[in-house]
Chain A
Amino acid sequence: MKKRPLQYFFILPATVWVLVFTVYPLIYVVRISFSNYQLGTTDLFFVGFRNYLDNFKDATFWNSLRVTLLYVLIAVTAQVTLGLYFAWILNKNLKGSRIFRTIFTSPLFVAPVAVGYLGITIFYETGGPVNYFLSFLGVHVPWLSDRYFALISVILLDIWEWTPFIFIILLAALQSIPEDIYEAALLDVSSNSQLFWYISLPLITPALVIAFLLKLIESFKLFGLPFALTAGGPANATEVYSILTYRKSMAYFDFSHGAALAIVLLFVVMVCVVQFFRIIRERY
């Protein structure tokens, strides 16, 4: 590799763009999180950590954090488990597997707001298909008007949308394991589940780790699905962090508190990622 003028010409536009449009905004957010910027403020001044403290004293902040963390925990666990399960089950060379892969990937490319939007009709309490089929079991669930079930609705729809993500990655990882390894293992091991736990799982762990981490990061970005489904309701049962930040910044034009919320989110996400890497490094 030698140094040539073309290399700078090629890389400059993109790098400059990303640097300017991410570094500057980040600095800007940090700055206004320490100021008093709101609808129609003319003179800005430094207020120290007041915005952060205001947020920490605000019950809606803690509610949001709780809702988001609950969702992240439950949804990601379910998605990884289901994705792994189905990847293992379907790791055979089946006819038409290409079609299957396409079909199974499709939820991932559906707009989250569309999932939430159609989700209203699916979880519609009197007249939706879910309650219709549940009624045969004598069950009626208040999907959209109960604090816990509303969040469950969000989680269920999110599982529908994102399990394919995990599935497709793990399937690819599984399929890259050569057959001979299984053949060799079958000399020592007889059951399928032993094959899975002692052979396949260790071999796909790198992919599993990446899939898990990526999904974790994506989860904190959740916005469109709950916004379209319940707009954060009922009351604030599904007001995930992004929705709260959006509302404070864009609906109330309370930029300073919104910025403080944003920085806290960034912090939380980074802590999760760093923690995650620490765990990985320890075990591997």
Chain B
Amino acid sequence: MKRKKKWLIGLCVGFFVVGLVGVSFAMTRERTEFLKTKPYRGITIKVLSLKANISETAVHFAKQWNELTGGDCQVVSVPFAAFHQKVFMDLVTGRGEYDAFINGDWFYGDYFLPEKPYIISIEQFMDDPKYPEWDPESLLPALQTVYKWNGKWYGVPNDCDSHVMYYRRDILTNPEYQARFKTKYGYDLPAPPETVDQFLDVAEFFNGWDWDKDGKKDYGVTMHMRTGGQGMFHFISWAAAYVISPENARFWFNPETLDPLINSPGHVKALEDFARLVKYGPPAMLGWDLGEAWDLALKGDAVLTFTWGDLGALAQDEKESVIKGKIGAAPMPGTMRAYDPIAKKWIEFDKPNRVGNVLGGSWHGVISRYSKHPEITYDFLSYMAEEDNAFWAFVRGYTGIDPGRTFAFLEPYGTADIKDYTEQGWHLDDVKPYTDAYYLNYTNALQLPPMRISRADEYLRALDVAQARVAMGELTAKEALDDLHGVFQEITDRVGKDKQMRIFKEAMGLK
């Protein structure tokens, strides 16, 4: 609740700062002239968003945009479990109530299922100086894949989602624990772990006792695994390095046959290790949503986790977090052997095979083909993508907008200054690990391909249930994934293999 009061104050301050100062510096001359006419007076646009901090941020920006342009942008939000359904209910029924959707990247496959796609490309608006300016190349390459389809831009940059690993710097560099770890495992306590085996060892070592001397039992890892939430992303980001390698870029489907790869030996090993990992956290986390899992880390009771950028930013809020100044970040741990499911062989590495990902919604706006004011809708969406506004959102944890554009990163990777972060309350020691981790993740040449075919939500849910059952010990990894292979195939057949093949190729940018 106190966070809410701070949020209200932040909102007012932010409004004035950006509304008055930023505006005059960030806009082109054409834009300034255009705005003077209050061009959208009397026009209402409706945006449907996921109900989360990002929707609150959208509302915040909508208020400013309304002031600037005279228009009326209304943001409606729906919780995760019903969001996909509501978006497509609007599109499939032809109701077209919403001009834009702040959608998750796996929705795209369904947009392009019919002959006439449900969303329109934004490229027609991108060069027009009337509209807010943003540099497409400021969005890191790996992220561009989820904002484009078949080479064309459809999404306007907003949130940038991926999983990186977070760890307690202070605990992993504690000499006493380092000595005990070495005695037990025979190698130096890594800070941070670089491979999945190290990650498992560290989580196991720190699970179940009070290592931060606060009188409460602490855990090795915390994860938000609630079914029907975004729990399955944990397994996916974990498993990436077991399958993706310099020799193989495929994770979900064989591009020639569309045969699901999900039960390859690499995937199975990944799930087996993942099921072990679950034991090194609190049992209740199987029912936890994002906030609850993050809270455990913020209260200082978990030594490792891997999740979205929100955590690093939330850790800076002293009212909710005790780990400010103690939280480190790094890209996801790698593996020493990975499986190539196309060539069907294991590959060994000398150095850890680390894979980047763009997992998660990367919640951003796309324009509905039913919108009566697509250009006005684009105006609002690109307003949020303007450098100043985007940066404003990146540095504040409560916005839910995570960094992914060049100006968010510190030297030598980007143009941001560490002062930009510390002025917003970031602890000096936390900024560089956090931003570097995400930058390295997004610029890694090896990337987990996001699932972007039609019915992605159905495939993902089936995966959600399968990994949960293995985590609960009901099935072995092999049983669950073999079964999942059949389910994936059934879904593909139901959509129609040819259709899916076309969509898959477009999503991958293959011809």
Residues of A within 8 A of B (CB): 38-40, 54, 58-60, 125-126, 142, 144-147, 150, 230-236, 250-254
Tell which of A54, A236, A251 touches B84, judged by Cβ atoms closer than 8 Å.
A251
28 A-B residue pairs with CB within 8 Å: A38-B494, A39-B110, A145-B283, A145-B286, A145-B287, A146-B472, A147-B474, A150-B287, A230-B227, A230-B287, A232-B227, A232-B228, A233-B228, A233-B468, A234-B225, A234-B468, A234-B472, A235-B465, A235-B468, A235-B472, A236-B227, A236-B465, A251-B82, A251-B84, A251-B85, A252-B455, A252-B457, A254-B494
Q: Please state if A234 and B490 are interface contacts (CB–CB under 8 Å).
A: no
**Chain B CB within 10 Å — which of A40, A144, A150 has the most?**
A40
CA distance A147 to B81 in the complex (A): 20
Binding site secondary structure of chain B: helix
Q: Can you add 14 more A-B contacts, CB < 8 Å, to A125-B284, A126-B282, A142-B284?
A: A39-B113, A40-B92, A40-B113, A145-B284, A146-B286, A146-B472, A147-B472, A150-B287, A230-B227, A231-B228, A232-B227, A233-B226, A234-B227, A251-B457
Tell which of A40, A146, A235 touches B227, judged by Cβ atoms closer than 8 Å.
A235
Does B498 belong to the interface (CB within 8 Å)?
Answer: no
Q: Please state if B92 and A234 are interface contacts (CB–CB under 8 Å).
A: no
CA distance A144 to B288 in the complex (A): 9
Q: Please state if B85 and A231 are interface contacts (CB–CB under 8 Å).
A: no
Nearest CB in chain B to that of A124: its residue = B284
Tell which of A60, A125, A252 touches B287, judged by Cβ atoms closer than 8 Å.
A125
Min Cβ gap A252→B in Å is 5
CA distance A38 to B88 in the complex (A): 12
Min Cβ gap B341→A in Å is 24
Interface size class of B (residues with CB under 8 A): 20 to 34
CA distance A234 to B287 in the complex (A): 6
Residues of B within 8 A of A125 (CB): 284, 287
Tell which of A142, A235, A252 touches B474, judged by Cβ atoms closer than 8 Å.
A235
Does B247 belong to the interface (CB within 8 Å)?
Answer: no
Nearest CB in chain A to that of B462: its residue = A60
Which residues of chain B from 306 to 361 have any CB-CB distance to chain A below 8 Å in the complex? none
Residues of B within 8 A of A126 (CB): 282, 284
Residues of B within 8 A of A60 (CB): 465
Residues of B within 8 A of A38 (CB): 494
Residues of B within 8 A of A (CB): 81-82, 84-85, 88, 92, 110, 113-114, 225-228, 282-287, 455, 457-458, 465, 468-469, 472, 474, 483, 490, 494
Residues of B within 8 A of A230 (CB): 227, 287
Min Cβ gap B116→A in Å is 11
CA distance A270 to B284 in the complex (A): 39
Min Cβ gap A144→B in Å is 4
Pairs A-B, 6 closest by C-beta atoms? A233-B227, A145-B286, A235-B468, A145-B287, A231-B228, A144-B287
Residues of B within 8 A of A40 (CB): 92, 113-114
CA distance A233 to B82 in the complex (A): 15
Tell which of B92, B114, B286, B469 touches A253, judged by Cβ atoms closer than 8 Å.
B92
Residues of A within 8 A of B287 (CB): 125, 144-145, 150, 230, 233-234
Residues of A within 8 A of B490 (CB): 54, 58
**Chain B CB within 10 Å — which of A60, A252, A254 has the most?**
A252
Tell me whether A142 and B283 are in contact in the complex, defined as CB-CB below 8 angstroms, given that A147-B474, A252-B458 are known contacts. Answer: yes
**Chain A CB within 10 Å — which of B110, B226, B465 has the most?**
B465
**Chain B CB within 10 Å — which of A147, A234, A236 has the most?**
A234
Min Cβ gap B274→A in Å is 14
Residues of B within 8 A of A254 (CB): 494
CA distance A133 to B192 in the complex (A): 40
CA distance A250 to B89 in the complex (A): 9
Residues of B within 8 A of A253 (CB): 88, 92
CA distance A236 to B84 in the complex (A): 20
Nearest CB in chain B to that of A248: its residue = B458
Min Cβ gap A41→B in Å is 10
Residues of A within 8 A of B81 (CB): 231
Nearest CB in chain B to that of A231: its residue = B228
Residues of A within 8 A of B286 (CB): 145-146, 234
Residues of B within 8 A of A252 (CB): 455, 457-458
